[in-house]
């Protein structure tokens, strides 16, 4: 019996570690997991069209021919669904990170935050 309990604890700890790593990997959509490095097309294929898009100009007055042609961050929002919103952040046309949060109000600025 002691051996069984010891193996059960080990199995539970290993499962928890795997689930935690999987959850940290990205945003789970109906057709796959969005991960850092994914393109716009890959995210749309996995999650569909976003509910909202925002573009944040980091250097709005930068000339287009500079060494930093992508001086903007693009945010895609999915939700609110079941009270939660997921923000997918792109830089240089690739996913940088995903953040899921619960807005505190129904105000659009609160729902579609730039820095949740």
**3-61 pLDDT, tens digit each:** 644 544 544 444 433 333 344 458 999 999 999 999 999 999 999 999 999 988 776 56
Asked if 113 and 87 touch (Cβ cutoff 8 Å), the reply is yes
Q: Does residue 8 form part of some domain?
A: no
**Nearest by Cα to 23 from 98, 102, 115, 114:** 98
16 is a domain residue: no
> What mean pLDDT do residues 56-84 have?
75
Considering the entire predicted model, what is its pTM? 0.69
Q: Lowest-pLDDT range, 11-20, 54-63, 77-86, 94-103?
A: 11-20
Is 52 within the bounds of a domain? yes
- The answer to whether 47 touches 78, Cβ cutoff 8 Å, is yes
Q: Which domain holds residue 76?
A: 28-62+69-111
Q: Bigger pLDDT: 70 or 52?
A: 52
pLDDT reported for residue 25 = 54
Total count of domains within the chain? 1
Q: Is the pLDDT of residue 2 over 70?
A: no
């Amino acid at each position: 019996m002691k051996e069984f309990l010891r193996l059960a604890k080990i199995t539970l700890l290993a499962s928890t570690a795997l689930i935690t790593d999987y959850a940290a990997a990205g945003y789970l959509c109906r057709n796959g997991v969005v991960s850092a490095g994914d393109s716009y097309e890959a995210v749309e294929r996995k999650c569909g069209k976003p509910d909202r898009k925002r573009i944040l100009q980091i250097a709005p007055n930068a000339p287009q021919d500079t060494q930093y042609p992508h001086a903007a961050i693009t945010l895609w929002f999915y939700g609110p669904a079941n009270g939660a919103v997921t923000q997918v952040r792109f830089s240089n046309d690739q996913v940088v990170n995903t953040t899921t949060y619960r807005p505190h109000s129904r105000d659009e600025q609160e729902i579609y935050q730039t820095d949740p």
